[in-house]
């Protein structure tokens, strides 16, 4: 669901979906929403449930796409398929990078341009902060078009590492060993299978997140150098040396816990909500039941990504906090003792969804800007 990668799709958890309104990380911790993988298969006609006694259809698991998806081929074509996923993920990452770059600068509170006066639906005058497009033009004026891709290299490496990790884990722990959810399952059996599939997805997501997080931290710090015009983090290898020297091994994992919590809440919330909605609220006798179930999974991915956006925001802020860059020091940000301290601070300020919207950005009541 940040600029956070290997997070959830650019639009999952605060990415492109976030452009439509606050709370969306669909950027994502993010922008556009969760990838959904349907594993359910209709049984052969001979095994279908009696029409007079329809059984609740089971809900397959939902897989989140955090910049690096995990579905890979098998057999002799596995290396080729894996390389194809890495290349495809790199292309999507590069195209979405300006969006996540602007989002990160907004997340850290960098507002270099004054707000403009506009009107809301009621005709009242309100202050609007610059949208993504205006912000992107400003970056081009300062750094040129290439400036929109600051921090892209470590992010590409992070996503590639996440994809390869998921593929390797699938070889060690083949998903075929997990029973597939079927429409002929009863409620209790289908729920057990959804729980097993979600646990499998959670394991892969958490491991890939932990391994790729150091590169994510480097990418975040490279991008926020735009705020203070620093050049402290200029390359992956030199950045690794600086972080290890100044912060030790733990410096590579700052902000990891809120990202992991966001991933776990996203997967379980999305899978279980979609399962229960499809099992209890969608009637099998309805002719469009299958289509509705597929849309239910899609909508649940967006809805849950909105709720988990604060985890993405806190994780990204902790990655750059007190690292020697202006964006992570007062007045942009207090020095946080922990991610919980950061969460509480943002909650008090009413800023837990800061950066979730990139188009219609109204000035909050607690802002320093005033409407004359």
Looking at residue 186, its pLDDT comes to 59
Asked whether residue 65 is domain-assigned, the answer is: no
pTM to 2 decimal places: 0.75
Asked whether residue 258 is domain-assigned, the answer is: yes
Asked whether residue 246 is domain-assigned, the answer is: yes
Contact between 150 and 97 (Cβ < 8 Å): no
State both tokens at 35.
Answer: 């990838």
What is the 3-class SS of 254-286, one letter each residue?
Answer: CCHHHHHHHHHHHHHHHHHHHHHHHHHCCCCCC
CATH of the domain at 162: 1.50.40.10
Inter-CA distances, 349 with 169, 326, 345, 352, Å: 41, 20, 6, 8
Inter-CA distances, 62 with 26, 126, 154, 227, Å: 14, 39, 27, 37
Looking at residue 44, its pLDDT comes to 44
Alpha-carbon distance 233 to 326, whole Å? Answer: 13
Looking at residue 294, its pLDDT comes to 75
Inter-CA distances, 232 with 229, 272, 332, Å: 9, 44, 18
Asked whether residue 11 is domain-assigned, the answer is: no
Looking at residue 67, its pLDDT comes to 39
Alpha-carbon distance 190 to 196, whole Å? Answer: 10
For residue 106, how far is the Cα from the chain centroid? 16
Q: How many CA atoms lie within 13 A of 272 on its CB side?
A: 12
Looking at residue 367, its pLDDT comes to 52
Asked whether residue 31 is domain-assigned, the answer is: no
Contact between 13 and 313 (Cβ < 8 Å): no
Asked whether residue 342 is domain-assigned, the answer is: yes
Looking at residue 341, its pLDDT comes to 96
Looking at residue 179, its pLDDT comes to 54
Give me the torsion for CA of 96, 320, 268, 300, rounded to 10°.
Answer: -40
Asked whether residue 69 is domain-assigned, the answer is: no
Alpha-carbon distance 302 to 299, whole Å? Answer: 5
Q: Show Cβ contacts of residue 293 under 8 Å, excluding neighbours closer than 6 positions.
A: 57, 59, 278, 282
Looking at residue 293, its pLDDT comes to 75
Looking at residue 176, its pLDDT comes to 63
Structural domain including 103 reads 80-191+201-349
Segment-wise mean pLDDT, segments of 10 residues, the chain, 372 residues? 44 40 39 38 43 46 42 55 85 94 95 87 85 94 95 95 90 69 59 89 95 97 96 93 95 96 95 86 73 81 92 97 94 93 95 89 60 40
Which residues sit opposite 127 in a β-bridge? Answer: 117
Asked whether residue 36 is domain-assigned, the answer is: no
Number of domains in the chain: 1
């Amino acid at each position: 669901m940040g600029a956070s990668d290997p997070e959830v799709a650019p639009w999952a958890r605060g990415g492109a979906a976030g452009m439509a309104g606050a709370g969306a990380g669909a950027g994502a911790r993010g922008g556009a929403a969760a990838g959904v993988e349907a594993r359910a298969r209709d049984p052969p006609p001979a095994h279908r449930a009696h029409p007079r006694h329809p059984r609740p259809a089971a809900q397959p698991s939902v897989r989140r796409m955090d910049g690096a998806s995990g579905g890979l081929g098998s057999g002799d074509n596995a290396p080729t398929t894996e390389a194809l996923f890495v290349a495809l993920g790199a292309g999507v990452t590069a195209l979405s990078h300006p969006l996540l770059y602007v989002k990160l600068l907004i997340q850290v509170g960098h507002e270099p341009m004054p707000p403009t006066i506009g009107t809301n639906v009621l005709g009242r005058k309100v202050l609007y902060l610059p949208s993504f497009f205006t912000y992107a033009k400003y970056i081009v004026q300062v750094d040129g078009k290439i400036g929109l891709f600051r921090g892209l290299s470590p992010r590409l490496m992070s996503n590639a590492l996440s994809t390869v990790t998921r593929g390797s884990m699938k070889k060690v722990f083949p998903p075929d060993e997990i029973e597939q959810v079927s429409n002929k399952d009863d409620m209790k059996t289908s729920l057990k299978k959804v729980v097993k599939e979600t646990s499998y997805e959670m394991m892969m997501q958490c491991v890939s997140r932990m391994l790729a997080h150091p590169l994510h931290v480097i990418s975040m710090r490279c991008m926020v150098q735009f705020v203070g015009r620093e050049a402290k983090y200029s390359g992956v290898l030199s950045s690794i040396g600086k972080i290890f020297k100044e912060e030790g091994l733990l410096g590579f994992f700052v902000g990891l816990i809120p990202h992991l919590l966001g991933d776990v809440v996203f997967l379980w919330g999305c899978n279980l909500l979609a399962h229960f909605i499809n099992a209890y609220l969608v009637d099998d006798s309805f002719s469009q039941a299958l289509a509705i179930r597929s849309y239910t999974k899609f909508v649940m991915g967006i809805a849950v990504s909105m709720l988990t956006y604060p985890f993405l925001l806190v994780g990204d802020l902790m990655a750059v906090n007190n690292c020697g860059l202006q964006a992570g020091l007062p007045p942009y940000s207090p020095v946080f003792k922990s991610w919980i301290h950061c969460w509480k601070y943002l909650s008090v300020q009413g800023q837990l969804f800061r950066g979730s919207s990139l188009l219609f950005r109204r000035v909050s009541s607690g802002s320093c800007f005033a409407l004359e």
